[in-house]
Structure 1
Amino acid sequence: MKIELAESYGFCFGVKRAIKIAEENRNSSTYGPLIHNANEIARLKNDFNVALSENLDTFKAGDTAVIRTHGIPKEELALLNRRNVNVVDATCPYVTKPQQIVEEMSTQGYDIVIFGDEAHPEIKGVKSYGVGNVFVINAPEEIDALKLREKVATVAQTTRKIEDYRQIVGKLMETHKEVRVFNTICNATFDNQDAVRALAQKADVMVIIGGKNSSNTKQLYAISKEFCPDSYHIESKDDLEPGWFSGKEFCGISAGASTPDWIIDEVVEAIEHLRR
C-alpha cells in the first residue's frame, strides 16, 4: 500500500507561534486550551510546566496567563489586566484581525454577521468586540430570520470553507444594498483544504489527524469524506484500526493545523507497520 502525505498539512503559523510563546513562558498557565490538541497540551505540561486553566478566577495578581490561539472575549481580557495578571497574548493574528474588523465596523454603524460556530471559542471572542447588532450564523437560510439594517459587514471563522462563505455573502447581497465583506479565512486553511481535496481524489483510504474538537480538522475530514468514503478522523496512532487498510492500495494522510509533527510521524510509522 502506498502512503502519501498531503502537500500541505499540520501546524500553521499561528499554532507554531503559540507553542513557541508557551515554551518561552515556563511555569505559567494557559487560559483555556492553547490549541485543540490534547496530546500537545500534555507535552507542554510535562516538558515546560505550562498548565491549563479554564477558570478565570484562578489567575491572581502576578500570575502569568497565556491567552489561547483562539482568543478570548474582550471583557475577560480586560478583567485579567485589571487584576494585574501578566497577560501573554498567543492569540493567532488571523483571529485578532476579525476581532478588529467587528469592533471597527460595528462602531461605524454596521450590523455584523459572523459565519461560524457560536459555541466555538474563536467566535465567542470575535463576537465580543462588536457593539450593537452582532449575529452568528451557520448557514445561508438563517439570514432570513435576522432583523438586519441596511448596512451589513460580514466576517468568517478562520477555519471555514470558502465555498460556504460565498453562499452567505451571496445571500446577503441579494437583500442588502451595502454589504462589506471581509475574507477572514486563514490562508493555511485554504492550503490544507485544497491539498486534502486533491489527495482524497487519488486515495482509497484517508486518515485525517487532529483533535476531536478541532474545527479545521473537522473541515478537512468533511472534505476528504466527499471524495474518499473510507476517510477516518483520528487523534493519535492509538485510534488506528487494521481493518481500515485491508485491501487498500493508496493511503492518504493529512492533519489539522493544531497537530504537531511528532504525532503525524507516529501515525505514519504505525500505518507502515500495519501494512507489512
Structure 2
Amino acid sequence: MKIELAKNYGFCFGVKRAIKIAENSAGSQESTSATIGELIHNSLEINRLKDNFRVKTLKNISELTDEKRAIIRTHGITKGDLEKLKTTGIEIVDATCPFVTKPQNIVEKMSNEGYEIVIFGDINHPEVRGVMSYSSKPVHVVLSIDELKNTKLPQKVAVISQTTKKIEEFISIVTYLMQRVKEVRVFNTICNATLENQEAVRELASKADVMVIVGGKNSSNTKQLYLISKNLCKDSYLIESQNELNSEWFKNKKICGVSAGASTPEWVIQNVIKELENIDKICNS
C-alpha cells in the first residue's frame, strides 16, 4: 500500500505562532501561564504544553488564580473579556491568529459605519463568538442559505466568513445576499492555509481508495477536511492519534492518503504514518 501525504497539511502559520508564543511564555518552575480557552483544538498538543512548559488551560477568565500571565488563544476572546482581563493587572500575551484579528477589525469598522453583520460560521465556535463581540450593530450568524431565508435582512450588510469554512459555501451565501440586499460589502476572511489544505485533500482523495484525516475532533478546519475527503473517498476516517487506526480499514487498499488539520502537530502526524507502515507490513506479510 502506498502512503501519500497531501501537498499541504498540518500546522498553519497562526498555530505555529501560537505554539511558539506559549512555549516562550514559560517562566521559572514556580511561574505558570494559562490560556483562556484551548490554545488550539488539539488535546495532544495542549497536554504537551502543560507537561513541558507548565501552560495551563482555563475555561474562562474567572478561573484565573495566581498565574503570572494569561495567553489569549488563537481563536481570540470576546472584546468584553479582553477589557476585563486588562483590569486584573496580569501580563497579557496575545496569541490570537492574525487571520482572526482581521475579521474582528472588519466587523468593528463596518458596524460603526452602519452595516449589520452577516457571518458565515458556527455561532458556538470561539472564533465566531469573539468576532461577534466587536460589532455595534446586529449580527446574523448562519451556516446555510436556509438559515438566511429565516433572517430579516437590512438594506446594508457586511459579510465575512469564519476563517476555516469552505470557499464554495461562502460564495453561495454571498450570492444569495447580493440578490436580496441593496448594499453588500464582502470580505473574504477564509484563511489561505485553510484553502490550500482543502484543495490538497480534494486532489488526494480523488485518487486514494482510503483516506486518514488527523486532527482534533472538535477542530472546525479538520472536520471540513474530513467532509471534503468523505465526499470523494467513501473510506475516509477522522482520527486524533495513531491509537485509533484500525487495520481492517486498509485491507486490499492500494493508495492511502493522509492529511491533517491546521492544529495538528507534525509529531502526531509522523506517529500516524509510522503506524500505517506497520499495519501495511502486517497486512502484506
Which TM-score bucket, shorter chain as reference?
Answer: over 0.9
* TM-superposition CA deviations, 1:185-233 (whole Å, max 9, x none): 0000000000000000110000000000000000000000011000000
In the alignment, the residues of structure 2 paired with residue 168 and residue 3 of structure 1 have an alpha-carbon distance, to the nearest angstrom, of 37
- The corresponding residue for 2:103 is 98
Equivalent in 107, 113, 121 of residue 118 of structure 2: 113
Q: CA deviation at 1:142?
A: 1.4
* TM-superposition CA deviations, 1:95-138 (whole Å, max 9, x none): 00000001100010001000000000000000010012111001
Q: Across the two proteins, how many residue pairs are aligned to each other?
A: 276
Partner SS state of residue 270, structure 1? helix
Q: Show the 5 A alignment for 1:124-143.
A: 124-143=129-148
In the alignment, the residues of structure 1 paired with residue 123 and residue 275 of structure 2 have an alpha-carbon distance, to the nearest angstrom, of 37
Equivalent in 263, 266, 276 of residue 271 of structure 1: 276
- The corresponding residue for 2:192 is 187
In the alignment, the residues of structure 2 paired with residue 114 and residue 78 of structure 1 have an alpha-carbon distance, to the nearest angstrom, of 23
In the alignment, the residues of structure 2 paired with residue 20 and residue 89 of structure 1 have an alpha-carbon distance, to the nearest angstrom, of 12
In the alignment, the residues of structure 1 paired with residue 219 and residue 88 of structure 2 have an alpha-carbon distance, to the nearest angstrom, of 31
Residue identity in the other structure for 1:266: N
Are 2:33 and 1:28 aligned? Answer: yes
Gaps of 5+ in 2: 27-31
Partner SS state of residue 275, structure 1? helix
Tell me the percent identity.
58
Q: Which runs of 4+ in 1 moved over 4 A?
A: none
In the alignment, the residues of structure 2 paired with residue 165 and residue 257 of structure 1 have an alpha-carbon distance, to the nearest angstrom, of 19
- The corresponding residue for 1:7 is 7
* TM-superposition CA deviations, 1:126-155 (whole Å, max 9, x none): 001001211100101211222222111000
In the alignment, the residues of structure 2 paired with residue 61 and residue 214 of structure 1 have an alpha-carbon distance, to the nearest angstrom, of 30
Gaps of 5+ in 1: none
Query: What is the TM-score normalised by the length of structure 1?
Result: 0.98
Q: Is the 8 A contact 1:140 1:171 kept in 2?
A: yes
Q: CA deviation at 1:58?
A: 2.5
- The corresponding residue for 1:122 is 127
- The corresponding residue for 1:257 is 262
Query: What is the TM-score normalised by the length of structure 2?
Result: 0.95
Higher mean C-alpha displacement, 135-144 vs 161-170: 135-144
Residue identity in the other structure for 1:7: K
Q: CA deviation at 1:62?
A: 7.0
Q: Is the 8 A contact 1:62 1:86 kept in 2?
A: no
- The corresponding residue for 2:227 is 222
In the alignment, the residues of structure 2 paired with residue 133 and residue 255 of structure 1 have an alpha-carbon distance, to the nearest angstrom, of 36
Q: Is the 8 A contact 2:212 2:239 kept in 1?
A: yes
In the alignment, the residues of structure 1 paired with residue 65 and residue 275 of structure 2 have an alpha-carbon distance, to the nearest angstrom, of 44
- The corresponding residue for 1:166 is 171
* TM-superposition CA deviations, 1:19-69 (whole Å, max 9, x none): 000000112111110000000000001111111111311225873100100
Equivalent in 20, 38, 46 of residue 51 of structure 2: 46
Higher mean C-alpha displacement, 49-58 vs 33-42: 49-58
Q: Is the 8 A contact 2:33 2:67 kept in 1?
A: no
Q: Is the 8 A contact 1:197 1:227 kept in 2?
A: yes
Are 2:83 and 1:78 aligned? Answer: yes
- The corresponding residue for 2:29 is none
- The corresponding residue for 2:244 is 239
Q: Is the 8 A contact 1:60 1:83 kept in 2?
A: no
Q: Is the 8 A contact 1:70 1:91 kept in 2?
A: yes
Residue identity in the other structure for 1:181: V
Q: CA deviation at 1:84?
A: 1.2
